[in-house]
Amino acid sequence: MIGKAIAAICVVAVVAWIGVEVISGTANVVIRGDPTPRALDFKEAVLDAQSLANRQARLSLAGIYEGLSAEMEMLYPPSHTTLGFGDDTIRLLTEASPREVREYFYNCRQRAAATAFDPNNLNKPKGCRVRIFGTMTTCYLKINKAAQFPCLTVDRVESL
């Protein structure tokens, strides 16, 4: 019991030290050891994904969530208008996310599947507008662990 209490105190201290502040339309990123967050837009997150992952940067990003399955989840820029994966995405890691996050994304995928063949929505994004809070890290493909890429672990999600 004492160990859990000490762990909880350490987590609170780390969260207070790292911090995340959100400004509408941008994300503020806080790098460990740097107390000043810097504004980060989606383009910056895509272009600097590897360096953000190397620093384990905590951030929040607004965009459109689309998932083909729980193993293939992406965050697209807020201006995303067509279906499909591309270089302008942030890959998401949700395996260790809280249950409510995984349930939110599950429900989003179900809504998208229900409208997938609607003739009025064929070339429109099938996702949900969200703000995601998490940490940039390095992920790998389950079938080829040598193939590494930056991704965003998801701690919290909000509908926009």
Mean pLDDT per segment of 10 residues, for the chain of length 160 residues?
A: 39 31 41 48 91 91 85 85 69 93 93 75 75 90 79 92
For residue 20, the one-letter residue type is: V
Determine contact, residues 132/47, Cβ cutoff 8 Å. no
**What was the pLDDT predicted at 94?**
92
CA angle 32, 34, 35 (to 5 degrees): 110
Measured in whole angstroms, the distance separating CA 23 from the mean position of its chain's CA atoms is 16
Phi-psi region for residue 128, left (φ > 0), alpha (ψ -120 to 50) or beta?
Answer: beta
Architecture field, domain 40-159: Beta Barrel (2.40)
